[in-house]
Structure 1
């Protein structure tokens, strides 16, 4: 999701401390409560986040504050600093607001694409043959999109979008000599995706996960976590930044072996006349 200055402050604070999965989940819920969250009681936050009041209180301590009162005062300072808050998705002009949000999401990718996690992901996936790509439910189309183009430039690509078969797919990829898998994990995060990530690591496979938030509860199960925020201004999430990150990742992978890439692209071009229709 797109975040304002106060949300960025909370996210940076959370990333600077070692939080439990439950605590990361509370922070993730709080990111969607701005600006109201700075003026809520522990009971109100607990009710909205679906946790107990003591859990919210312990979060403040885990973030380095003497108590919840001190934490809330810092939240208020961040909110009252004059940073515009994110727009409501319920407005009539939500389509226009969604475009603005996606622009902000795309802008945030600059740091991701230029960062060390991206470089590590490229290193892991460039040497994977076969390359397994997994995306379930809302992430299925993303996995198929990546796999469609990856097959044109990489020697062996296997895409799984079936939750019922994902464990078998991970096991088979391991038996075929795969060294790393790419997972797309967009909200709502399927339990089968998280289980498959953990199975892959248990089998000795490296896991590269593309998710919408650095505080996803399975972040520690990823060897590399790449974050591409989703657009939340429409009735369903939009994935413009996720698609851009995915194709940027594939582009970077192809650049590790430009000779192979060129050969495979030329071979594909030789087949284009068989299926393309020119008006």
Structure 2
């Protein structure tokens, strides 16, 4: 097998597993080491890749192998002959995102999204929570939600989320939207449970239906993440979030139009 095919095999394998950014960087560096990488020790790979030896060992485990020797044996099989299994077709980051967005069709047309839209539309104010990597998604949703909803409160601070939820409930909120993208912050998981304890409906946008906190959510809306680059891409989550907001707005078309008109009246003040 030539080096290009061997590199494709390693990339395909990496895309099938959830790797940390540092582990993805190691994979990228290993691509330039074929065919030698199949015959190097963890010490030699770590030296060439500029990482620690345990980091290389953890990469092998993250890729589904029992340890580095098993991973190296698979690499040797790929370099010397046939791959140990038939890899999935290689997809570019763009191809993967297109597939992720296409997977939303069923979610957007489903009962869970309609039910979630109803809960958020009835809540006054609406709560939005997104911590760490999910903070940008929460701010993005809240920015547009304020154009069509009378009151939107957002929290992106893990240290303040407990007080935020208590105050939100005290203000009369009946529903909270959570963004929970990998790696799932412990504070997000605890906040979902706290919101339910406060008797607020919990809607969670996350990357997979079997996320460990899924049983604590009233509705889980799945938006797969792109894992083909160093950092996760949340393109599908953005589309799902705005689709959810569109469904919320559609429940009160007259009120939505009035708020949009009021917003448009202010545009000339901040558009250059």
For the residues of structure 2 that align with 1:84 and 1:235, how far apart are their CA atoms? 20
- CA change 1:86–1:172 in 2 (3 A) is farther
Quote how far apart the aligned CAs of 1:49 are. Answer: 6.6
Deviations 1:223-274 (A, max 9, x none): 0000000000001001110000000000010000000000000000110111
Match of 1:84 among 78, 81, 88: 88
Please give the per-residue CA displacement for 1:109-156, whole angstroms capped at 9, x wherever unaligned.
Answer: 001001111111111111111000000000000000000000011000
CA drift at 1:85: 4.3
Counterpart selection for 1:115 from 110, 126, 131? 110
Equivalent-residue separation in structure 1 for 2:228 and 2:196 (angstroms)? 35
Query: What does residue 61 of structure 2 align with?
Result: 48
Residue 119 of structure 2: which of 119, 124, 135 is its match? Answer: 124
- Are 1:197 and 2:182 counterparts? no
SS at 1:163 equivalent: coil
Pick closer, same or farther for the CA change 1:126–1:83 going to 2, 3 Å: farther
- Residue aligned with 1:192, SS: helix
Tell me, yes or no, if structure 1 residue 160 matches structure 2 residue 164: no
Q: In 2, Cα distance between the equivalents of 1:200 and 1:269?
A: 34
The whole-number CA distance in structure 2 between the counterparts of 1:49 and 1:273 is 52
Tell me the SS of whatever aligns to 2:159: helix
List structure 1 segments (4+ residues) > 2 angstroms apart after TM superposition: 47-50, 82-87
- Displacement, 1:84? 3.3
Find the counterpart in structure 1 of residue 136 from structure 2: 141
Superposition RMSD on alpha carbons, in Å?
Answer: 2.5
**1:83 CA displacement:** 8.3
In 1, distance between residues paired with 2:266 and 2:221? 34
Q: What TM-score, normalized to structure 2?
A: 0.69
Unaligned runs of 5+ in 1: 1-30, 34-46, 54-78, 88-96
With the length of structure 1 as denominator, give the TM-score of the two structures: 0.68
- SS in structure 2 at match of 1:259: helix
**Matching residue of 1:219:** 214
Alpha-carbon offset, residue 105 of structure 1: 0.2
Contact 2:130 2:136 in 1 (8 A): yes
Larger Rg: 2
Q: Deviations over 1:49-93 (max 9, x none)?
A: 79xx9xxxxxxxxxxxxxxxxxxxxxxxxx98x783455xxxxxx
Task: Give the CA deviation at 1:207.
Answer: 0.1
Could you list the runs of 5+ residues in structure 2 that have no partner in the other structure? 1-15, 19-59, 67-83
Provide the residue aligned with 1:208 in structure 2: 203
Is structure 2 residue 270 aligned with structure 1 residue 270? no
Where 2:160 maps in the other structure, the secondary structure is: helix
Deviation of 1:48 after TM superposition, in Å, equals 3.3
Task: Render the CA deviation track for 1:194-246: whole Å, top value 9, x for unaligned.
Answer: 10000000011110000001111000010000000000000100111000000
